Structure 1
Amino acid sequence: MRAIRPLNNLSKRFYAAAKPNEALTEAYAGHKSPAVSLPAPQNVQVSKLPNGLVIASLENYAPLSSVGVFVKAGSRYETAENQGAAHVLRLAANMTTKGVSAFKLCRGIEALGASLSATLSRETMVYTAECFRDDLDNILEYLVNVTTAQEFRPWEVNDLTARVNVDKARAGQSRQIGIIEKLHEAAYKNALSNSLLCPDFMVGKVSPQQLHSFVEDHFTTSRMAVVGLGVNHSDLKELGERFLSVRGGSGAPLAKASYRGGEVRVQNKSDMVHAMVVSEGAVAGSAEANSYVVLQRILGAGPHVKRGAGIGSKLSQGVAKATKHLFEVSAFNAFYSDSGLFGVYSVSQANTTGDVIRAAIAEVGAVAHGAVTADDVARAKTQAKADYLMSIESSSGLMAEMGAQALSVGTYQAPEIILQAIEAVTQDDVVKAARKFVDGKKTMAASGHLINTPFVDEL
């Protein structure tokens, strides 16, 4: 039988090539195409309700629908008394609510073939539901319960302790995550210094009362946005008016992040040292932020080739001249609603860390003194625009972009506007951004065998 299958495949290919002169693009005479009119593509629609809730949707006529509830309730909103509340709240997304038990929530979502997830950043908490279009009404019932009718039963909250420890253990295995957390701890006095993970002294000690208080303070209509893909805008608007308007008002005041600069050093026996050196960068959504995006691509935002080392970037080339040992180096860039961080991230052997860090900073300094060409800027802008377009190709990426804009400015800017803003960045803008890093107060975080790692005041 194995010998017969290849012969069958060959016969099909020979049959297809039997009449090479016959046009294969002509329609079969006996076939009549059904008169199906495809719906016209729609643009993103945004509405703001009188209570401050923002509704954004895109009807893409996909068989799958996605709805996300974005809340300004990230870890930056924690206080000294309730640190870790945001982490525990994210894990509590599948617990019993006032309208549905944890068992029904789990089995009901499974029966629909749907998914319900919660993600956390320093700025936002996001609840996302995905399902078949026909099951949208059912999944929205669960989504409303999870976001507006939390109950936080004490025994269920206690059971979350094990999951908190699992999250912390997984994060501990990633030295990159650990060094980024330490960097924020050193860079800010408050707000953005809060970790995404529950601190050790609060594990098992975040109470149901603290969770209720956190939700009441931050899950208010003026701090929320509802984003939908593959849904009708009027239906999503009705959902917001009927179910998500139970908590009005502005909620707790925003604690403005205060950048201070500083240093955190984690000494261990690892031969590979992870180090980050940054200065305060740009605020998200500003024109200056686009300059940092382009500067990051000029210096090197990581390899663009699978398993590559990004050797074509300025940082890699500059560091390669200073040391012949193994290293990885790239530019780091993070934006927030009231601050930002920009700098260099390196991974190198312990005995060469000092040379690698100094060489990387020197490359940024060279750009600050004008060592950048028009071709460098043009290439970096092309990379930045391509990265942005690829980031919104997926449903999750597009939803994240729509939600971020809806929360920050209450509107949505089409990709064409974002691309124009990136294209408007000039060579002088890039030089100014690099000079701001060079002249700014530095923050440093390092982890490993730090025998040859300079202190921040030595750079």
Structure 2
Amino acid sequence: MNELKSTTLANGLRIVADIDLRGYSAAVGYFVRAGARDETDIESGLSHFLEHMMFKGTARRSAADVNRELDELGGQSNAYTSEEQTVYYSSVLPKYQDRMVDLLTDMLSPSLDADDFATERNVILEEIAKYEDQPPFGAFERVMECAYGPRGLGRRVLGTTHSIESMQVESMRAYFNRRYRPENIVLAASGNVDFDGLVAQAEKMTQHWLDRPAPSDLASDDLGTTPEGIELTQHLSVPDASQSYRVTLGDGPSMQSELRYAMRLLASIVGDDGGSRLFWDLIDTGRAEVATLWPQEFTDTGALFTYLVCAADDMDSNVRLMNEVFGRVARDGVEQSELDQVINKTVAGCIMQSERPSNRLFGLGSRWLCCGDYLSLDELLDAYRGVTIESVAEAARTYLGQSATEVVASSAEPQSNLVG
């Protein structure tokens, strides 16, 4: 049986674990409330940049030591940054729990060396350039900027070429001291975990985190201006693109909305990449290469994305078809057989994913960081099984019939602006 345990250290660090002593592995990670929405204009991209710098060495370890130990301990180790958090994680054999916690905790006190900063800046700039060269050519970032504005949730996770080129290591150190404080961090673990040992080790190793210098007050952004390097036009010109790429963003349920489970199931019925209504109407018929819909939940709001890829000449007719699908569902709801099928599919997926502690870790850490709670597997399955035709219909009426922000990336200006 799984057991959920949690505690809060005297310094404010929260520790939570989903323990299953029958498992053959353990997953552990630090979840930090430091994402793009926490940055100012001069810090744009800093959360992600700082994630890279965590692997560049500490007072106890060189960069080579960090990477060598990650390899020695085996398993899978990595990090990622989003709009609302930065996460450092690893899955290991239980006998290596202490060593991995020691390594990850040490990494969260990085050297932030000026020479390493200058070198890694070039890596970030290359990452930005590479990303902008790949379809859909920055359309997802642009639609977030247009929908939310270029700050807060609309701020780019990678930053812009301008913000990274002008960034100073002193800004990174100040941002680190402001965001990487114990009250902003959750240490999460899942699988075959020694919880008492985890707590004792974290308590000893993170005592000095309270000694980090108190952050100074930040100058406010000028909200009457657009940050340098940002454009808010809703068409991205890509001269060599052979297809058109359309992204829309409308309102969706937040991480705390009662409709989030119904919306997830509705999105699967309408816009999953296989077997959904959009699949049969646009993909199976050869009208489009991609036609999909999905929700993304944030702490205090949510987004509903659509993504359409097709020949430029077919864009308007395909948009009409998508809007007709959304309109029918918003008006008529879905069939009970469709809902039963997607519930079975989703429940099976949850069960199979839960077999890996690393999969459970992300839901546990993210949820505890933003909401201070967590659903066990049984509770999650009950939540999906409890979704009714009526709640799906409510989600459809609430979210599918709304207007949305549209961005198109193509070789030519769009001929019309059909937003559903």
Query: Fold match, TM over 0.5?
Result: yes
Alpha-carbon distance in structure 2 between the residues aligned to 1:420 and 1:177: 40
Map 1:9-158; keep pairs closer than 5 Å: 41-57=1-17, 58-60=19-21, 62-113=23-74, 116-147=77-108, 149-158=109-118
Is the CA contact (8 Å cut-off) linking 1:116 and 1:130 kept in structure 2?
yes
Greater shift, 389-398 or 181-190, is seen at 389-398
Do structure 1's residue 265 and structure 2's residue 235 form an aligned pair? yes
AA paired with 1:348?
C
| Displacement of 1:226 | 0.8
Report matched runs for 1:373-388 at 5 Å.
373-388=335-350
SS at match of 1:225: strand
Is the aligned partner of 1:183 residue 2:143? yes
**Equivalent pair of 2:248/2:405 in contact (CA under 8 Å):** yes
Q: How much does 1:450 deviate? A: 4.2
Q: Which residue among 362, 368, 373 is the counterpart of 2:324?
A: 362
Q: Is the 8 A contact 1:218 1:252 kept in 2?
A: no
- 2:301 match: 339
In terms of mean alpha carbon deviation, does 199-208 or 44-53 score higher? 44-53
Work out whether 1:432 is the aligned partner of 2:403.
no
Say whether the 8 Å CA contact 2:238–2:410 is kept in structure 1: yes
Superposed CA deviations along residues 281-309 of structure 1, whole A, max 9, x for unmatched, are 11014211112101101102212xxxxxx
Query: Where do 5+ consecutive residues of structure 1 fail to align?
Result: 1-40, 256-261, 304-311
Structure 2 counterpart of 1:167? 127
Alpha carbons of structure 1 residues 177 and 402: separation in structure 2 relative to 1, 3 Å: farther
> Which amino acid counterpart does residue 277 of structure 1 have in structure 2?
T
Query: Is 1:242 aligned to residue 204 of structure 2?
Result: yes
What is the aligned length? 402
Q: Aligned partners of 1:327, 1:182: CA distance in 2, in Å?
A: 21
CA offsets 1:399-443 (integer angstroms, 9 cap, x no match): 111112221232332111112112222222222222223443411
2: CA distance, partners of 1:435 / 1:63: 45
Which stretches in structure 2 are left out of the alignment for 5+ residues?
221-231
| 1:168-220 Cα deviation digits (max 9, x unpaired) | 24423432473222221111023111112131102333222111111111112
**For residues 338 and 172 of structure 1, what CA distance do their matches in structure 2 show?**
29
Higher-Rg member (1/2): 1
State the one-letter code of the partner of 1:314.
Answer: R
Q: Provide closer, same or farther for how the CA distance between residues 205 and 369 of structure 1 changes in structure 2, counting only shifts above 3 A.
A: same
Relative to 1, partners in 2 of residues 1:420 and 1:447: Cα closer, same or farther, differing over 3 Å? same
Q: TM-score, normalised by structure 2?
A: 0.86
SS of match in other structure, 2:61? coil
Task: Decide whether the 8 Å contact of 1:301 with 1:331 is kept in 2.
Answer: yes
TM-score by length of structure 1 reads 0.79
Identity over aligned pairs, percent = 19
1:287 and 2:258 are equivalent in the alignment:
yes
Structure 1 residues 440 and 251: CA distance shift in structure 2, 3 A: farther
Contact 1:219 1:251 in 2 (8 A): no
User: In the aligned structure 2, how far is the partner of 1:213 from the partner of 1:144?
Assistant: 19
- Name the SS of the counterpart of 1:241 in structure 2: helix
Give the conservation status (yes or no) of the 8 Å contact 1:55–1:225: yes
Deviation at 1:96, TM superposition (A): 2.4
Question: Residue 445 and residue 393 in structure 1: after superposition, are their counterparts in 2 closer, same or farther (change >3 A)?
Answer: farther
Question: What residue identity is the alignment partner of 2:278?
Answer: L
Match for 1:447 among 396, 401, 409? 409
What root-mean-square deviation, in Å, do the aligned CA atoms of Structure 1 and Structure 2 show? 2.9
Question: 1:320 offset after TM fit, Å?
Answer: 7.0
2: CA distance between counterparts of 1:64 and 1:336? Answer: 30
Secondary structure at the counterpart of residue 428 of structure 1: helix
